Structure 1
C-alpha cells in the first residue's frame, strides 16, 4: 500500500455540478464524443415520475446518449426532463446531434443546478445498457442515479449513467469546512 498526493483529475468528479463534457474540457481533454441514441417524449418509468414529482399521466423528454473518451466507449446515460424542460431540450439541435453541452443549454434556459442527490452502485449491466456499452451482460458497471433541482426546488433533471470505470474513473474530492 502507498499514499501519494492527488494528481490531475482523470475522471468524472461526481459531486461537481458541471457535466461530464464540461469537466473533461476544463481539464483540457478534447477527445469526448457523444452519440445520441434516442430523444423523445415518453411515459416515464415509475421511479423517474416519483423522483421528478410528476402528476399522473405527465410525460417526460428522455435523452439517451453514449459517451466515448479518446475513441473508447465510456458511459451510457438516460436523462429524463419534465415537460417544460423537455421542450427546451427537444429544440436544442446541438444537444440532439451530440455536439452541445446539455448543462449549458439547461443553464441558458434558466434551469440552474442549486443542488443534486447522487447514488452510485455497482451492478451487472442490463441487456440494453450492455448493448450500448459493447460489453457482456454479466460485466459489472457503476450506475450513477442523479436528481437535480434549482433554487426554487424545482426538480428538472433525473438521470441514470452507466459508467465503465476502467475508461472513466469516478472521483470524489474531500475538503474540510
Structure 2
C-alpha cells in the first residue's frame, strides 16, 4: 500500500483529522482493497503524506486496532487484520461444528476427555437430574481452518444416551450422533453469553500466550417433550470471530 492511494483529508471539515484518516483507511480495508496482513505505511509516512502530526496518526491507528481491523507488531509496524468470521450458531439450533461445516470451513474436533460420571451441582441443576443419575462428560477442543478456536465442556444424561461415553467422537458432530444413534433431536435451547478471562489451563489448551478475554457461552438444549438433552459451557477465542445473533419481531 502506498500513501498516494489514500484520499486526501478535508481540512475544512468539522470532523477531526484522525477520524477522517481512520474512516478512509477503514473504507479501503472493509472494501478489500488492502490485502490481509498487508503492512500500512509508517506513522511518519502517513503523517508526511497528509501534513498531520504523528499523534494524529497514532490516534487513528489505535482506533483501528481497537476495532480489530488492524494489528501491530512491536518494532515492525501496523498490518491489516484478517476479517472476523461470523458464527451464527448462538441464535440457531445448529451445533458450532455443524454451522462451520455448512459454511465450508475446515473443522477439527479433538476429544480431550470422555467419561461416565456423576454430574456436579451446576450440571445437575441445568439438566434437572435426579440424584444418582450419571452423565457422559466431554471436553473437546475445536479448530476452525487450522486455528484453535473453542474449548467446550459438555454433559449429556446417560439414561438418554447409554454408552455414549464409549463412542468415538473425534471429528464428529455430537448432535448428529445423538440423532442417528439415539433418536434425540434438539427442539430448542437457551444460551447465555458473557466475557471471561481464561484460567492457566484454558490458556494452555487454547494456545494463548497472554491473557485475553474469551466469550463464554452456556447452553441448555431441550427435546420436544421438554426433557433436557445437553448442557455445555464453551470458551471462544474472539480475536478472529464475532457472534451473529438473528432476532425476529
Quick check: TM above 0.5? yes
CA distance in 2, matches of 1:33, 1:11: 18
Is residue 105 of structure 1 aligned with residue 105 of structure 2? Answer: no
Q: TM-score, normalised by structure 2?
A: 0.62
Change (3 A) 1:69 1:149: same
Is residue 26 of structure 1 aligned with residue 95 of structure 2? Answer: no
Higher helix share: 2
Corresponding residue SS for 1:85 = coil
User: Does the Cα contact within 8 Å between 2:193 and 2:217 map onto a contact in 1?
Assistant: yes
CA distance in 2, matches of 1:47, 1:107: 25
Higher strand share: 1
Q: TM-score, normalised by structure 1?
A: 0.85
Higher relative contact order (CA 8 A, sep 6+): 1
Corresponding residue SS for 2:91 = coil
Q: Quick check: which has more Rg, 1 or 2?
A: 2
Change (3 A) 1:92 1:167: farther
Q: How many residues align?
A: 167
Matches within 5 A, 1:10-49: 10-13=85-88, 14-29=90-105, 31-49=106-124
Residue 14 of structure 2: aligned partner: none
**Structure 1 unaligned runs (5+)?**
none
- 1:25-51 per-residue CA deviation (whole Å, 9 max, x = no partner) reads 11122x211111000012222111101
CA distance in 2, matches of 1:126, 1:24: 26
User: Does the Cα contact within 8 Å between 2:185 and 2:223 map onto a contact in 1?
Assistant: yes
User: Does the Cα contact within 8 Å between 2:221 and 2:230 map onto a contact in 1?
Assistant: yes
CA distance in 1, matches of 2:212, 2:160: 34
Residue 39 of structure 2: aligned partner: none
User: Does the Cα contact within 8 Å between 1:126 and 1:137 map onto a contact in 2?
Assistant: no
Query: Structure 1 stretches (4+) deviating beyond 4 angstroms?
Result: none
